[in-house]
Amino acid sequence: MQAVTADNDFLERVLAAGAILVNIGDIDILLEQILTEARFFTNADAGSIYTVEGDLLSFGHSQNETITGRGERIPYTRFTIPKNRASMAGYVACTGDILNIDDVRKIPAEAPYSFDDSYDKISFYRTRSTLTLPLINNRQVVVGVLQLINARTDKREFIPFHSAMELLGKYYATLGALALERAMMTRTLLMRMVNMTEFRDPKETGPHVNRVGSYSVAIYDSWAKTNNVEEDDRSHNRDVLRMAAMLHDVGKTGISDAILKKPGSLTKDERRVMENHCLIGAEVLRNCESTFDEMARDIALCHHESWDGSGYPHGLQGEDIPFMARITAIADVFDALSSSRAYKNPWSDNMVKDEMERLFSSKFDPGLKHHFMSQLDVLREIKDTYPDQ
């Protein structure tokens, strides 16, 4: 990456970054992408993005090339801070102003905000310059905050952010805010469908479907990188899969409580009724008009099919099972094993790994085994991000 100055090249990068955001529908994928693109066009070493949730700022995503370059994990996955003027992000959320700070350790004592160095301390990182931008929607409400950390030269020395980045950054943040609002609405609608399912089956909770969506994306992403899937296709598929996988069990809305909530095991006939949830899900999602509809339908219909043909509803085998349904099946079973359910405690990490390994010889696509295993650390991070309530 080049050091960034106020030239046409920089303008082009901002415009290209903004254009990418308008096509993303899933909120998690979007937050990550807003941050990735902004770090790219400002050549920032690190950054975080927050969403405003009432009186709080929720820390959504964080990236840090120095820390991940050392092969370490980013220390925090999710936390909240009060939305007030005491922190830099809080100040920007309250005022809607941009803060471009050359050195956070030289913030004047009379400034309303100060720099909290606890993150630097636990991660052995040194924050110097920051550019903190408000994500303001078209009703002039701040819906999020984007904080970029440590602009760099070509030689990766930390420098202040160029003043030209303030105005263009503000323009980019506005596009981000509009995309964020739309993605929030989409997530709300998806969660309403999930909540309806949860009324019927208490196992199908918000955290469960969020985990299944994110696990599926992590497995897909590893596969896509290895198979050199083009960046545009990869990011489109990540986005659609994140949302489509959340609806895998939407067909349970059509199964009676007597079966869904029956304590103990089901009879053969009851199991057959239960298995209908795949067909009902496909029916709910019929009339495919978009890639999302098509993928959601494939997943709802085929997430209980098995590689060896022993699954249901149609006993499909191998590559006849749609690819994204094969991925979601892995994510769904992994979550069932590693979470606590009314009838069981969560299994230990080793027990889950052994059982998953065993299932790769019959139930799951063996070509995805390496991608699942290589992502185990990431999957555990996701699990911490969406704990059961």
Smallest separation (angstroms) from Fe ion to the CB of 359: 15
Bridge partners of residue 145, in order along the sequence: 50, 134
The reply to whether 363 belongs to the active site is: no
Give me the least distance between CB of 110 and Fe ion, in Å please.
54
Q: Which of 83, 252, 363, 383 is catalytic?
A: 252
CB of 73 to Fe ion, least distance (A): 27
d(CA 142, CA 240): 27
Q: Which stretch binds Fe ion (CB under 5 A): 129-137, 317-325, 329-337, 349-357?
A: 329-337
Kindly tell me which of 179 and 282 has the beta carbon lying closer to Fe ion: 282
Give least dist CB 362 to Fe ion, A.
18
Q: Which stretch binds Fe ion (CB under 5 A): 19-27, 80-88, 245-253, 258-266?
A: 245-253
| Nearest residue to Fe ion, scored by beta-carbon proximity | 249
**Nearest distance from C-beta of residue 250 to Fe ion, angstroms:** 9
* 8 A C-beta contact, residue 5 and residue 162: yes
Residue from 332, 352, 372, 386 touching Fe ion (CB under 5 A): that is: 332
Cross-strand pairs, 349: none
Number of residues that bind Fe ion (CB under 5 A): 2
Q: How far is CA 5 from CA 45, 151, 239, 371, in A?
A: 16, 11, 32, 39
Smaller CB distance to Fe ion: residue 119 or 372? 372
Exactly one of 28, 37, 201, 249 binds Fe ion (CB under 5 A); that residue is 249
32 binds Fe ion (CB under 5 A): no
Calpha distance 88→85 (Å, rounded): 7
* DSSP 8-state class, residue 77: S
Give the range of 217-225, 226-234, 244-252, 376-384 binding Fe ion by CB under 5 A. 244-252
Q: Alpha-carbon distance 369 to 281, whole Å?
A: 27
Distance (Å, rounded) from C-alpha 294 to C-alpha 286?
8
- Residue 77: what residue type? T
In the complex, minimum distance from the CB of residue 236 to Fe ion, in angstroms, rounded to a whole number: 24
Neighbours of 261 (CB within 10 A): 12
Q: Which two tokens stand for residue 65?
A: 């090339």
- Window of 141-149, 188-196, 324-332, 373-381 that interacts with Fe ion by CB under 5 A: 324-332
- Between 159 and 337, CB nearer to Fe ion: 337
Q: Which is nearer to Fe ion, 177 or 247 (CB)?
A: 247
What backbone torsions phi and psi does residue 4 show, to the nearest 5 degrees?
A: -100, 130
Binding span for Fe ion by CB under 5 A among 48-56, 129-137, 213-221, 248-256: 248-256
CB-neighbour burial class of residue 2 (10 A; exposed 0-12, middle 13-18, buried 19+): exposed
Measured from the CB atom, is 304 or 371 closer to Fe ion?
304
Tell me whether residue 176 or residue 213 sits nearer to Fe ion (CB atom).
213
Q: Which two tokens stand for residue 52?
A: 């405003």
Contact 268, 275 (CB under 8 A): no
* Residue 153 CB-half CA count within 13 A: 4
**Site residues, Fe ion (CB under 5 A):** 249, 332
Q: Which residues are catalytic?
A: 252
